[in-house]
């Protein structure tokens, strides 16, 4: 298991743990991408699977319904409570645990497949999270994850949020989540640790009656976004500027009462 040591991002992770508790209503639009990731990862019956930063368990449940033996890990106890509800409703079994993508509480070479859907990308140190995901993966096992490309709305949104968020005190800024959506960066990070690196694409589609409807919903459910809005409540001009930037950016992905958000899927085999 990972060595125990003082975590310079402990305060940052505590804030993330609290912020993402509001994500529950968004799970419905992540269920179809979850099925795409499971197919892309070639999950099959009898495999052992870990869902890193599993959130409400949509990927974990989908894998379990295929007959895999599944574990899921997330920082947020609120999201894990919903994940357990989803498991019970689906009539499957998943072993959920509260934990950190940068310090996975599993022995080396425990899993045939390690997955993450828009989750591990928020770990502040990509190489730490990646080394942990590879550590618990068997040689010849598959690593697969979905991420937001930096050139499309979700990736650009998280870059905007970073512009309005001060970095954690005493540490370097967390790595941009959208860096995981750049194939060149992914190739560099994975390096010689993997073979058979493959990319796929998909699009997450969410209904929105107007751009303002979408923004308000996002402010209520995307924790880091909500925290920024809260921090700007006493600065009306800056809040208005932030919201205008957000809606202008979102308008590029909005058409026919829907937000269409392209994502990248990565699959590789541990060497």
Question: Residue range 230-257: average pLDDT?
Answer: 96
pLDDT of residue 244: 96
Residues of the chain above pLDDT 90, percent: 86
pLDDT of residue 1: 46
Half-sphere exposure of 101 (CA within 13 A, CB side): 28
pLDDT of residue 21: 87
Helix orientation angle between 236-250 and 153-163, rounded to the nearest 10 degrees:
160
Residues of the chain above pLDDT 70, percent: 97
**For residue 119, with 0-12 CB atoms within 10 Å meaning exposed, 13-18 middle and 19 or more buried, which class applies?**
buried
3 pLDDT exceeds 90?
no
Q: Are 177 and 264 in contact (CB under 8 A)?
A: no
Domain assignments of the chain as residue spans, ordered by start: 10-207+261-270
Q: What is the DSSP string of the chain?
A: -PPP---TTHHHHHHHHHHGGGGGGGHHHHHHHHHHHHHHTT--TT-EEEEET-TTSHHHHHHHHTT-EEEEEES-HHHHHHHHHHHHHHT--EEEEE-BTTB--S-TT-EEEEEEES-GGGSS-HHHHHHHHHHTEEEEEEEEEEE--TTSHHHHHHHHHHHTSPPPTTSPPPPPGGGGG-HHHHHHHHGGGEEEEEEEEEEEEEE-SSHHHHHHHHHHH-HHHHHHHHHTTT-HHHHHHHHHHHHHHHGGGEETTEEEEEEEEEEEEE-
pLDDT of residue 2: 44
Q: Are 82 and 57 in contact (CB under 8 A)?
A: yes
pLDDT of residue 5: 64
Q: Confidence class of residue 15 from pLDDT cuts 50, 70 and 90?
A: confident
Question: Tens of pLDDT along 17-42?
Answer: 888 889 999 999 999 999 999 999 99
pLDDT of residue 129: 97
> What pTM did the predictor assign?
0.93
168 pLDDT exceeds 80?
no
Average pLDDT in the chain: 94
pLDDT of residue 34: 98
Question: Residue range 103-123: average pLDDT?
Answer: 97
Rounded CA gap, 104 and 86, in Å?
Answer: 23
Closest by Cα among 184, 110, 146 to 36: 146
Q: Confidence class of residue 209 from pLDDT cuts 50, 70 and 90?
A: very high
CATH homologous superfamily, domain 10-207+261-270: Vaccinia Virus protein VP39 (3.40.50.150)
pLDDT of residue 54: 98
């Amino acid at each position: 298991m990972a060595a125990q040591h003082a975590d310079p991002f402990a305060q940052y992770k505590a804030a993330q743990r609290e912020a993402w508790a509001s994500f529950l209503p968004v799970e419905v639009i992540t269920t179809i991408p979850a099925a795409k990731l499971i197919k892309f990862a070639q999950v099959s019956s009898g495999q052992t699977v870990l869902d890193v930063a599993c959130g409400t368990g949509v990927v974990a449940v989908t894998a379990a319904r295929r007959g895999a033996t599944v574990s899921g890990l997330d920082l947020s106890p609120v999201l894990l409570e919903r994940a357990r509800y989803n498991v019970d409703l689906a009539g499957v079994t998943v072993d959920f645990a509260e934990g950190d993508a940068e310090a996975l509480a599993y022995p080396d070479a425990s899993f045939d497949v390690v997955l993450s859907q828009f989750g591990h990308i928020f770990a502040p140190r990509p190489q730490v999270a990646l080394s942990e995901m590879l550590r618990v993966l068997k040689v010849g096992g598959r690593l697969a994850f979905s991420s937001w490309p930096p050139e499309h709305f979700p990736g650009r949104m998280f870059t905007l949020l970073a512009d309005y968020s001060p970095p954690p005190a005493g540490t370097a800024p967390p790595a941009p989540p959208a860096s995981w959506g750049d194939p060149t960066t992914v190739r560099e990070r994975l390096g010689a640790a993997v073979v058979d690196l493959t990319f796929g694409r998909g699009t997450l589609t969410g209904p929105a009656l107007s751009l303002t409807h979408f923004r308000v919903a996002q402010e209520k459910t995307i924790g880091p976004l909500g925290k920024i809005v809260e921090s700007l409540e006493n600065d009306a001009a800056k809040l208005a500027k932030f919201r205008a930037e957000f809606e202008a950016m979102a308008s590029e992905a909005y058409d026919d009462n829907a937000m269409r958000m392209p994502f990248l899927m990565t699959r590789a085999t541990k060497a």
